Structure 1
């Protein structure tokens, strides 16, 4: 775990008060991010995101046919796994990553399942029997703050990049069905990612709040809020944590407005990058519609 001296913390807090963060950003400046898709050949979709070449995450999506969840007999299933590499941060050595892994898995799963992000009924093959299972595997390669935002961006990109093999379902009898999965790489369906949100994390340092906190700034945060925002500007979920549990209503309203504005900007930038990546892979002959 990163340890800062009181002098270093005061320097960061004073800088935030003056709207000058220790990496040169203003309070509401988000770091630039880079994106690569389709880089893991053993998956049906993948994406790698770097925040300012520091925080570095990789997400792979694998699709397999399995039994439906009997509580949701007409829907596909989602399995999320997050692994923080020990080389990414000393905090992730030994059992240190277990708690943060569990928190990231829970938050990411809830964001995808509970915000109408994906039409899960379209991933059902035979109602009450078979469905597509999406295995979303995330690896944190380097940690320099704001892990969940990076994972949310990379997950949306990986799902956009995912190709699900075409499947033909044949009814043999009223109680028996068979299905055939195409092995033609050019025959596939896509996941509609238009409603999948990304997240904007805000942290209160001193009397002000910032977005996209760095690793050093996370040590100075008294209150943290992660807001999921979709392309329509809707707030899909809010997760709050921190030592200070109080947020006054006027400050909360301002934080939510900021999250919506920044989230919309990030989504617009992300979609432009995804379209650019799509053109590159199509031109190279990896995918054709």
Structure 2
């Protein structure tokens, strides 16, 4: 005659797991059938071994359930799409490129300016790179106010705009505004250097972002107005580059900011590509203004 023990026999199985009977199969991991386990996924209840366990808020989950859960979690975005920005890397990169270009001017001013400055005639002769490189050069030494103003403006407004637009969209606005300024310089048969076209494009972007998010945009309007007046008052300033950059930067940002949410990325990509193609076609098909006479 058998008797029941006064105290339960200790078990090495996890607390809460049923004890298998003499005819029950030993549970094994669903991914590794040769491994005995008494832990189950909290979502699908499949047996999982230590290599297949992923810590969850309660208990553990299997690899597939974790992947499925991650797909259902909405990814954080910047206000106008793209990944949220903690460090404005594009702003710092643009600052560094402009400063390095200016250091190259200090080393050999004539070689850098003659080879890379924006010049309508040279672009017409096939030196297309000037449309971009000219926007990273500034008035050569001993003049320092040009690069100091532009880099201060980029430092002051670049990080905030990059966080609002996302790094890739911010880079697109900056570069397309710089290109737009160079195209305007080309169309009017001028010669120019400077990041001012891109900076004015960022001024326009600030206005659009403020309006779209419901902020008070009067300060930005004053900023743009004062700088436009200075463009025509101070001699030697390329009004073509300033206004060309302002128009393109404002246009691109507006199309980015007001893109429909469901097709936001597609519309924004098409916008950037369309503006780029339009700028290229203008340079390819339209001669500089002096040739029209």
TM-score bin (small chain): under 0.3
Flag the structure with higher helix content: 2
Flag the structure with higher strand content: 1
* Structure with greater Cα Rg: 2
Q: What TM-score, normalized by structure 1, do the two folds share? A: 0.28
Q: What TM-score, normalized by structure 2, do the two folds share? A: 0.28
Q: Which has the higher contact order (CA 8 A, sep 6+)?
A: 1
